[in-house]
Amino acid sequence: MTSTTNKLTLAYRPQVRGAVHVPGSKSIANRALLLAALASGTTQLDNMLVSDDTARMREALTALGVVITSTPNLDENAAQADAGPLHVTGLGGLPNSTSALSLFLGNAGTVMRPLAAILSASVGEFELTGEPRMYERPIGPLVDALRSIGADIEYQQSTGYPPLLIRGRKLPGGSLAIDGSMSSQYVSALLMLLPLLEGDTHLTLTGTIVSKPYIELTIAMMTSFGARVEQLNEREFLIQGKQQYRSPGVYWIEGDASSASYFLAAGAIGKGPITVHGVGSDSLQGDKAFAEVLQAMGAEVTWAPRSITVQSGNEGLRGGMFDLNHIPDAAMTIATAALFAEGSTEIRNVANWRLKETDRLHAMATELKKCGADVEEGDDWIRITPPVGGAAALQHADIATYDDHRMAMCFALLRFAPCGVTILDPECCRKTYPDFFSDFSAIVYSN
């Protein structure tokens, strides 16, 4: 592994073995921080992820008056990005600010969307800003839903996109609907707000619901913090108002299942076995199903409550057609693993890739072609066919990462091809997994 400031070259290594403790899930960490901040009492958050996205949430909550303290981690087996337990002293309800606040939220969708909802019902005036890419990520469906129950939210630049100016006010609840076809983060943001409104709310999801496991994760976490959500059917929820979140005392943040996907795929390609700790059969995260996709492609998978072990199958990986709407982040790893599979691999129903940190469908197609693959890109699908000769015929490429952490991490799998790979701007992994490349290099071997 050689690096300069702006790029990292990963030399060929054909085998992997060992164990990895992945850092805490970004999705769970930021939800846990917010729920703990809204709860009564003090919550200890264990296995907290330290990354750009969680830093933006902590900064915003601190500006809103939440007291957050950290404890040094003395566990030598903990993930390198785990700084030890956090203690969050909750507000016991919605924030109340006597002065106007401007909150910079970077490119963190797991901060922008839920805070937009929470602050719309809080006391104060709040400006939510971010990086330029955040201003290209739509938030209109969430704003429309909040406005339908009386929220005062103003677009500062382009209609339907951040930055936002929010003049918080008490919201009554009632009946509202939101399009669930663009991002489950809109739905999760609403769900976390609704128990704190003045009245009961009937929430209806319209359109094709994407990433449903993330909605289920949100409800499970709300339940852990004492809120009640009644799910009437797949599309309808009844949430009583005037509830209060309560600290569960200690809340353990699972390892990030999306980050686990890179190591699990490595085990499927590089013989293995690789055991990933922090994610397992008991995980709340839908991305644990990534291991099931690897199994369908021919890998050997063993499950434990908090770990997954993967190794290559006797006949290697084979392609196939997969609807991965439920695991869109981990689905990117299947796209690069497809370079090592026999035949074509088609990933379908991932239109929301285009609304992430970058247009991931176009970015993946562009970079996979650089490696010598035959790639077809549709509105919501991508088909990858390795070159004749398989992985041995892949070409070394400088992979552009588009300031997208998952682009950088999933293309690390190219080090299992004889050509190796160069990753441009590897530091973009700070968003969720600052130590990814050192952890990945620790489990690869030349023989």
Say what the pLDDT of residue 79 is: 44
Q: Alpha carbon of 9 to those of 65, 404, 415, 445: distances in Å?
A: 44, 18, 9, 16
Q: What is the mean pLDDT of residues 171-200?
A: 95
Residue identified by tokens 């943040």 is 253
Residue 114 pLDDT greater than 80, yes or no:
yes
Q: Has 348 been labeled as part of a binding site?
A: no
Q: Has 157 been labeled as part of a binding site?
A: no
Say what the pLDDT of residue 446 is: 84
Rounded percentage of the chain residues whose pLDDT exceeds 90: 88
Residue 3 pLDDT greater than 70, yes or no:
no
Q: Has 170 been labeled as part of a binding site?
A: no
Say what the pLDDT of residue 2 is: 64
Q: Has 44 been labeled as part of a binding site?
A: no
Whether 58 and 68 have beta carbons less than 8 Å apart is answered as yes
Residue 77 pLDDT greater than 80, yes or no:
no
pLDDT digits (tens, 9 = 90+) for 86-105: 999 999 999 999 999 999 99
Residue 73 pLDDT greater than 70, yes or no:
no
**Is the CATH number of domain 26-240 3.30.450.80?**
no
Sign of CA dihedral 270, 272, 276, 279: positive
Q: What is the mean pLDDT of residues 310-329?
A: 95
Q: What is the mean pLDDT of residues 354-364?
A: 88
Domain ranges of the chain: 2-23+254-445, 26-240
Rounded percentage of the chain residues whose pLDDT exceeds 70: 96
Q: Tell which CATH classification among 3.65.10.10, 3.40.47.10, 3.40.50.300, 1.10.630.10 matches the domain 2-23+254-445.
A: 3.65.10.10
Residue 139 pLDDT greater than 80, yes or no:
yes
pLDDT digits (tens, 9 = 90+) for 248-276: 999 999 999 999 999 999 999 999 999 99
Residue identified by tokens 């600052």 is 434
Residue 80 pLDDT greater than 90, yes or no:
no
Average pLDDT, the chain: 94
> Rounded to an integer, what is the distance from CA 319 to the centroid of its chain?
25
pLDDT digits (tens, 9 = 90+) for 33-63: 999 999 999 999 999 999 999 999 999 999 9
Say what the pLDDT of residue 324 is: 95
3-state secondary structure of 159: coil
Residue 83 pLDDT greater than 80, yes or no:
no
Residue 377 pLDDT greater than 90, yes or no:
yes
Q: Has 406 been labeled as part of a binding site?
A: yes
Say what the pLDDT of residue 358 is: 84
Say what the pLDDT of residue 182 is: 84
Strands of the 374-377 sheet, one edge to the other: 321-323, 345-348, 381-385, 374-377
Active site residues: 329
Can you tell me the distance from the alpha carbon of 261 to that of 218, in angstroms, rounded to the nearest whole number?
21
Q: Alpha carbon of 94 to those of 86, 121, 294: distances in Å?
A: 20, 7, 43
Phi, psi of 131 (to 5 degrees): -75, 165
Q: Has 360 been labeled as part of a binding site?
A: yes
Q: Which residues contact 144 (CB under 8 A, 6 or more apart)?
A: 178
Whether 260 and 277 have beta carbons less than 8 Å apart is answered as no
* 2-23+254-445 matches 26-240 in fold: yes
Q: What is the mean pLDDT of residues 411-432?
A: 95
Residue 381 pLDDT greater than 50, yes or no:
yes
Q: Has 185 been labeled as part of a binding site?
A: yes
Q: What is the mean pLDDT of residues 174-197?
A: 95
Burial per residue of 166-197, b for 16 or more beta-carbon CB atoms within 10 angstroms, e otherwise = bebeebebbebbbbbbbbbbbbbbbbbbbbbb
Can you tell me the distance from the alpha carbon of 22 to that of 261, in angstroms, rounded to the nearest whole number?
10
Q: Has 56 been labeled as part of a binding site?
A: no
Say what the pLDDT of residue 232 is: 96
**Which has the closest alpha carbon to 120: 61, 196, 183, 54?**
196
